[in-house]
Amino acid sequence: MAKIETIRHSLAHILALTVKEIYPNVKLGIGPAIKNGFYYDFDFKENISEEDLSKIEKRMKKVIKENISFKKEKISKKKVKELFKKEPYKLELIEKMKEITIYKSGDLVDLCAGPHIKSAKEINPKGFKLTKIAGAYWKGNEKNPMLTRIYGVAFKTKKELDQHLKTQTKAEKRDHRKLGQRLELFSINEEVGAGLPLWHPKGAILRHIIENYLYQELNFQDYQWVWTPHIGKLNLWKTSGHWDFYRENMYSPIKIDGEQYLLKPMNCPFHIKIYQSKIRSYKDLPLKFAELGTVYRYEKSGVLHGLTRVRGFTQDDAHIFCTPDQLSKELVLILKYGLKILKTFGFKDYEIYLSTRPKKSMGTEKMWKKATNSLKYACKKLKLKYQIDPEGGVFYGPKIDIKIKDSLGRLWQLSTFQIDFNLPKAFNVFYIDQKGKKKEPIMVHRALLGSLERFIGILIEHYAGAFPLWLAPEQIWIIPVGSRHKKYARDVQCRTLHSGLRVEIKEENETVSKKIREGEIQKIPYILVVGDKEIKEKSVRIRKRGKGDIGTIKLDKFIKKIKKELEDKK
């Protein structure tokens, strides 16, 4: 049976075929398979809306039942230009292609390298659905015309499709872009720029809590914190190889005093320069430099998405320099404490992938084998299950990636631990061994949360904005019943603030029930209502998020209880 990706991609062709039948004047863009489904970009002469999707979907099912075949052909540039003379977008693509193959399916001829299914019967007509329409710039560039993108999802069975649609509806309700606005965490402002989030006070509090927790945890693990600039000379990234390999993700150089500088796309060269600021001996190793380093990478405007795909972000980055003999032990520590931190944030389920040597790579077979074995050793030592991603390593070394599972069961790639044979060589990094000889250290790049922006986006969706107490930007609201209870409310606030809690008094001229309702919308963990009875008893009436009114409790007892909850980070 065909791979699901192949089925999805073939459905994109069937979508194009069908749309062309219904709207003969349409011009075709491109139509790839994507995560969970597929899309196709069209340039319509007429206006179409989501109401038209069911009509198109019905027709697609008919085409599938007709069991059309998919046939691949090689074709000369001259012939293909003739074939697509009425398709301006395809002609543009053809100009840049060397070897050209086309696929014929039914009445549709499309530029495509494949692979595809042999015939439409391999598709389950009950396993797919057209889901939405969106505008998309041709080639993701805002200077190009805006096309209409039709999205679909596809699975092998109807059951999988239904499950996906159900999760999707749940996911929409907890979309971090909507919640981020409602909870006043962040915004993205057109006048500032796409993909450049602004952190509002409450979002900044959340971010600081996470940063402080990382500072504390990494201090325990003997990391040393460093701080490096946002720009640096272009030559650094020429030496590192990034300028050659990742140039399309980097911003144009900035000229300063006749020299070229770059907005940093990664922090590694700076950390290497700190390492090289003095001669290091084997006794100094392992050396671990950590930084919450803000980097800038170009992403096409079409793929930007809230906090999870941005143009400037802060990595929880670290580089470990160690001797080859220390590698296994260090990897065990990285993995062990990494998983502990993820667990504290509420991510207990994960998948671990170990990527081995790709065909195009540097270093000797011996180096790769040793490094890969160290990664395997670390997993075994911690009794962790892992999957091998054959030849999935980066050209400079093997790696481990961790994908966490959120509360909807969705997988997110977060952590990456990469062994690097390239940079120590490129920058001539060394240490002095026991015999007084220069030796090359092993370098490990490690990011645990990945980027703070993306991580917080995921965190918002994982908790649907109802953060556990230790992460909640506002932990307690105090609502005085009447104006004569305001003084006591302030006493309660004073006591709770001194216990390190984040507390607000709601003194606005609104009814108590309206304030409670607002607190529920803002997902405040504890709302304390105080009136005559509470003043007399030195107590507070508690409304707990998700539980409602849980009764009255002495203030001292409440503070003790909540401090424990804070410490437990649950």
Q: Which long-range contacts (CB under 8 A, 24 or more apart) does 300-306 make?
A: 300/139, 300/140, 300/141, 301/137, 301/140, 301/141, 301/142, 301/194, 301/195, 302/136, 302/137, 302/140, 303/140, 304/194, 304/195, 305/177, 306/175, 306/176, 306/177, 306/180, 306/188, 306/197, 306/457
User: Applying CB under 5 A, which part among 43-51, 109-117, 180-188, 230-238 lies near Zn ion?
Assistant: 109-117
Binding pattern for the stretch 349-388 against Zn ion, x by CB under 5 A and - elsewhere? ----------------------------------------
Could you give the CA distance from residue 555 to residue 491 in angstroms, rounded to a whole number? 10
Cα angle for residues 546, 552, 556 (degrees, 5° grid)? 105
Catalytic residue among 164, 174, 176, 268: 268
CB 60 within 8 A of CB 37: no
Question: How many residues bind to Zn ion according to rule CB under 5 A?
Answer: 3
Residues 6+ apart with CB under 8 A from 318: 218, 223, 288, 289, 290, 291, 445, 446, 447
User: Exactly one of 154, 268, 352, 479 binds Zn ion (CB under 5 A); which one?
Assistant: 268
Could you give the CA distance from residue 147 to residue 130 in angstroms, rounded to a whole number? 17
CB of 70 to Zn ion, least distance (A): 8
Which CB, 109 or 161, lies closer to Zn ion? 109
Of 288-347, binders to Zn ion (CB under 5 A) are none
Q: Can you give the three-state secondary structure of 434-499, one letter per residue?
A: CCCCEECCEEEEEEEEEEHHHHHHHHHHHCCCCCCCCCCCCCEEEEECCHHHHHHHHHHHHHHHHC
Residues in the chain: 570
CB of 256 to Zn ion, least distance (A): 24
DSSP conformational letter for 500: T
Could you give the CA distance from residue 15 to residue 9 in angstroms, rounded to a whole number? 10
Catalytic residue among 27, 445, 485, 506: 445
User: Applying CB under 5 A, which part among 17-25, 37-45, 108-116, 371-379 lies near Zn ion?
Assistant: 108-116
User: Applying CB under 5 A, which part among 21-29, 236-244, 285-293, 441-449 lies near Zn ion?
Assistant: 441-449
Could you give the CA distance from residue 418 to residue 397 in angstroms, rounded to a whole number? 7
Which CB, 108 or 188, lies closer to Zn ion? 108
Which CB, 268 or 516, lies closer to Zn ion? 268
Could you give the CA distance from residue 13 to residue 496 in angstroms, rounded to a whole number? 62
Which residue from 47, 389, 533, 456 is spatially nearest to 211, judged by alpha carbons? 456
Which CB, 449 or 489, lies closer to Zn ion? 449
Of 489-548, binders to Zn ion (CB under 5 A) are none
Which CB, 311 or 445, lies closer to Zn ion? 445
Give the orientation angle of helix 555-568 with respect to helix 486-498, to 10 degrees.
Answer: 40
User: Applying CB under 5 A, which part among 181-189, 279-287, 440-448, 464-472 lies near Zn ion?
Assistant: 440-448
Catalytic residue among 41, 316, 317, 406: 317
Catalytic residue among 271, 297, 311, 541: 297
Tokens of 476: 């307690």
User: Applying CB under 5 A, which part among 167-175, 263-271, 400-408, 478-486 lies near Zn ion?
Assistant: 263-271
Beta bridge pairs of residue 84 = none
Cα angle for residues 325, 225, 474 (degrees, 5° grid)? 125
317 noted as active-site residue: yes
Which CB, 30 or 210, lies closer to Zn ion? 30
Catalytic residue among 319, 376, 446, 515: 319
CB 56 within 8 A of CB 90: no
User: Applying CB under 5 A, which part among 264-272, 432-440, 525-533, 556-564 lies near Zn ion?
Assistant: 264-272
Tokens of 183: 């909870």
User: Exactly one of 112, 120, 133, 287 binds Zn ion (CB under 5 A); which one?
Assistant: 112
CB of 267 to Zn ion, least distance (A): 6
319 noted as active-site residue: yes
Binding pattern for the stretch 60-89 against Zn ion, x by CB under 5 A and - elsewhere? ------------------------------
Catalytic residue among 52, 129, 271, 315: 315
CB of 54 to Zn ion, least distance (A): 24
Beta bridge pairs of residue 38 = 33, 152
Which CB, 112 or 292, lies closer to Zn ion? 112
297 noted as active-site residue: yes
Name the residue whose CB lies closest to Zn ion: 112
Which CB, 445 or 485, lies closer to Zn ion? 445
Which CB, 199 or 321, lies closer to Zn ion? 321
Cα angle for residues 35, 40, 45 (degrees, 5° grid)? 155
CB 563 within 8 A of CB 499: yes
CB of 105 to Zn ion, least distance (A): 9
User: How many Cα atoms sit within 13 Å of 466 on the Cβ side?
Assistant: 14
Residues 6+ apart with CB under 8 A from 325: none
CB of 330 to Zn ion, least distance (A): 15
305 noted as active-site residue: no
CB of 10 to Zn ion, least distance (A): 7
Q: Does 108 bind Zn ion (CB under 5 A)?
A: no
CB of 36 to Zn ion, least distance (A): 18
Which CB, 112 or 214, lies closer to Zn ion? 112
Which residue from 46, 21, 40, 217 is spatially nearest to 108, judged by alpha carbons? 21
Cα angle for residues 205, 402, 172 (degrees, 5° grid)? 60
User: Applying CB under 5 A, which part among 105-113, 242-250, 340-348, 366-374 lies near Zn ion?
Assistant: 105-113
242 noted as active-site residue: no
Of 444-463, binders to Zn ion (CB under 5 A) are 445
Could you give the CA distance from residue 179 to residue 197 in angstroms, rounded to a whole number? 14
Residues that bind Zn ion (CB under 5 A): 112, 268, 445
Which positions are annotated as active-site residues? 268, 297, 315, 317, 319, 399, 445
